Amino acid sequence: MEAVFGIHAVTSLISRQPEQIIALHLLSGREDEKLSMIVSSAQQLGIQTQSHDRESLDQLVGEVVHQGVVAICKPLKTYSEAWLDQLLDKTEQPLLLVLDGVTDPHNLGACLRTADAAGVHAVIVPKDRAAPLNATVRKVACGAAEAMPVVSVTNLSRTLNDLKKAGVWVVGTAGEAKQSIYQSDVKGSIALVMGAEGKGMRRLTREHCDLLINLPMSGEVSSLNVSVATGVCLYEIVRQRTFVK
C-alpha cells in the first residue's frame, strides 16, 4: 500500500482508478468546493472515508503538503510488453517516450505530466534502472501518473529494436549529436529517448537509435534537467506533427 496526497492527485485517482483506493483520509473541519467534490465522489463509489485532525493526518504521510486529503491505495500498475505490442498494432502514428535510467521520482513525475500534456501514448522504462511509481511520482505528476501508461521492459535495447521493426523512428538525445531537434524531421511514428540525469543514455541504448539530436545550449550550463529537456523535445515533436506539412 502507499499514500497518494493532494487535491489534484487524489481527484485524478478517484476519476480514473477508483478501484485502487483502499481508504480516504480527510482533514476534519476543512470545507471547500474541491474537497467536497472528492468526498461526494468517494461516497458515491462506496469508498471508506475517515476524518482526522491536522496532527494525525500529518503523521500519516510525514512532512509533505497533503492539502487535507490522503488516499491509501494499491501501488500503480505498470503495463507489459505484450500491451505495448497491441498499442502499436492499433495506433497509426504512435508517440512514445523512453526514459533510460531516470531514477529520480520527481523527474519521472514531471516527465509523466509533460508526456500526458503532449499526447504521448505510453512511457517506456527499463525494469532495472527506473524510479519507482510511488507517491512522490503521483504528487509531482498531478494526476498524469494515473492517466499515462508506463511500460516496464526487461531489455530496453531489444524493445527499441522491436519498435524499429514496427516502423517507429527511434530518436535519442545526446549533447554530442551533430544536429539539433530543430534541424530534424520528427514527424510520424516517433520514440523519443531521454537519458539519465547527468550520464545520459547508456551505450547500447545509443547504438539502437536511428537518429541522435541535441538541444542548442547558449549559456554557461552544458545540459538541462531531464524533465525540462523532455518538455522541450516533446513540444517540438508536437509542433512538427501539428503544423509542419
What domains can you pick out in the chain, each with its CATH number?
Answer: 2-73 (3.30.1330.30), 81-243 (3.40.1280.10)
Greater model confidence, 65 or 134: 134
Tens of pLDDT, residue by residue over 98-130, are: 999 999 999 999 999 999 999 999 999 999 889
Greater model confidence, 16 or 236: 236
Q: Residue 244: what pLDDT?
A: 80
Element (H, E) at 107: helix 105-118
Q: Residue 13: what pLDDT?
A: 85
The dihedral built from the CA positions of residue 92, 95, 98 and 102, taken in this order, carries a sign that is negative
Res 68 pLDDT > 90: no
Which residues fall in the annotated binding site for S-adenosyl-L-methionine?
195, 215, 224
Q: Which three cell numbers stand for residue 203?
A: 551505450
CA distance 28 to 40: 15
Greater model confidence, 217 or 79: 79
Q: Report the chain's mean pLDDT, rounded to a whole number.
A: 90
Q: Which three cell numbers stand for residue 181?
A: 531537434
β partners of residue 151: 79, 124
User: CB neighbours (10 Å) of residue 85?
Assistant: 11
What values do phi and psi take at 174, rounded to 5? -155, 135
pLDDT band per the 50, 70, 90 thresholds, residue 220: low
Q: Residue 166: what pLDDT?
A: 96
Lowest mean pLDDT among 148-152, 217-221, 226-230: 217-221
**Contact in structure between 45 and 102 (CB atoms under 8 Å):** no
Which residues fall in the annotated binding site?
195, 215, 224
Res 1 pLDDT > 80: no
β partners of residue 71: 4, 24
CA distance 23 to 21: 6
Chain Cα centroid distance, residue 239: 20
pLDDT band per the 50, 70, 90 thresholds, residue 75: confident
